[in-house]
Amino acid sequence: MHNRMMITGAGSGLGREIALRWARDGWRLALADVNEAGLRETLALVREAGGDGFTQRCDVRDYSQLTALAQACEEKFGGCDVIVNNAGVASGGFFAELSLEDWDWQIAVNLMGVVKGCKAFLAQLERSRGRIINIASMAALMQGPGMSNYNVAKAGVLALSESLLVELRQVEVAVHVVCPSFFQTNLLDSFRGPNPAMKAQVGKLLEGSPISAADIAEHIHAQVAAGEFLILPHEAGRQAWQLKCQAPERLYDEMADMAVKMRAKARKTAD
């Protein structure tokens, strides 16, 4: 380990907080995002926190941009020890309302962006015996109503991470997947969906969360150090996951009731 990390979606939110947490340990960071102004702010904060690194604009939908980022890590750092596939976008809407374009966009960023990030950096990670940290969501485990394309994309990240966990053990590349619940972030900036009321409902959940992106980053740091594969930062999320494992039908009933309430609220807002 040479303390070299790459983070996508590092221009704000959780990506920035992960950068700052590792910066406090003196790491060198390759910060990637489509938001170049945000990247510059993150790098300045990283340097204040005790780390260093560089920024590079990167759209994770474009594999050539990720391979260029990997090449930059090779040239500037001599390789990479940890990658954090964090870049993601928000979406919502009931299945009947979602267009195929909504599905394509969500899968391209939230799932294939992670696949491409892992692919672009795998050779470096095998060489350094490094680790992959994939940011999924509790949506990967719980599949709440009104967000089927998001659920599927994040469940794919979980399945990919499980696949890599077993495939890469022999080459000593560690894998972690993080499944946070709602937390205070700017994820709504990227929200796309057919129903404006859905965005408002998600916004209230984000604002009402007692846990911040910095809290999540601290939890990830501790759990990665402990070698934990499935990282669930929220206590409520851990309890919900236990419930699903023990009594899945009960959870499905609760989700179905939630769907009824969400539809009623959306109709009321529309009126």
Q: Which of 27, 77, 121, 150 is catalytic?
A: 150
- Residues 37 and 210 sit within 8 Å (Cβ to Cβ): no
- Residues 148 and 50 sit within 8 Å (Cβ to Cβ): no
The DSSP 8-state label assigned to residue 147 in this structure reads B
d(CA 149, CA 181): 17
d(CA 211, CA 216): 7
Token readout for 209 is: 């969360």
The DSSP 8-state label assigned to residue 184 in this structure reads B
150 is catalytic: yes
The DSSP 8-state label assigned to residue 132 in this structure reads E
CA distances to 13, 20, 28, 109 from 24, rounded to whole Å, are 17, 6, 10, 29
d(CA 131, CA 84): 9
What are the catalytic residues? 150
